[in-house]
A and B are shown apart, each in its own frame.
Chain A
Amino acid sequence: GAGVSQSPSNKVTEKGKDVELRCDPISGHTALYWYRQSLGQGLEFLIYFQGNSAPDKSGLPSDRFSAERTGGSVSTLTIQRTQQEDSAVYLCASSLLRANEQFFGPGTRLTVL
């Protein structure tokens, strides 16, 4: 079946602009996660949506970052007033609620000039 998809695959933007990154999880997966992978670094947790519960936003690095999940499916990560340090690969993952394995998408590579 279809895996997790993310769009765009690459995004180049100018410092100060807003960007939106999209994640389509696997159908039926009620848990959705966003991670950030900076060059040479591990994956940094950003935000977690679990079913109808309030999202866990504890990993968001600043108030310029926000995410929403509409209808319990598609999620959008928004970065306002982008900075050069926001340049990274943003990965989305989904899983069955309270299950172990997270399935990752291919990521969006964001470059802020």
Chain B
Amino acid sequence: GENVEQHPSTLSVQEGDSAVIKCTYSDSASNYFPWYKQELGKGPQLIIDIRSNVGEKKDQRIAVTLNKTAKHFSLHITETQPEDSAVYFCAASKIGNQFYFGTGTSLTVIP
């Protein structure tokens, strides 16, 4: 089955700096890679996703890059703000199937 590893487990950045979270996956058949943000006491919410036929996707301050050959993908948050503080999860899946999640990154943005 699929195995997703995520690093780092915790990340602290100064407000305005960039944050990068990295994930690797094992199943080359995985073709969909979402990133979820989970705030305390809430369920995860999708913030950005990428399919395997695309190398990069950007949405305002958030971007995701995918390297299919190396089987890794990364989340980039620029100009971080205190409200970006949360736990972020990456996942890998074959479209329409269950997600395999990483273990999460607790991001703290220091004002």
Contacts and interface: CB of A to CB of B under 8 A. Distances in A.
A101 B34 contact: yes
Interface residues of B, number: 25
A28 interface: no
A109 to B, nearest CB: 9
A31 interface: yes
Contact of A99 (B96, B99, B102): B96
Contact of B89 (A43, A59, A97): A43
B90 to A, nearest CB: 9
Interface in B1-42: 4, 6, 32, 34, 36, 41-42
A38 to B, nearest CB: 10
Interface residues of A, number: 27
18 contacts: A31-B96, A33-B98, A40-B103, A42-B6, A42-B104, A43-B99, A45-B99, A45-B100, A50-B96, A59-B98, A91-B44, A97-B96, A98-B96, A100-B95, A101-B46, A102-B34, A102-B46, A106-B41
Interface of A: 4, 31, 33, 35, 40-45, 48, 50, 56, 59, 91, 93, 97-107
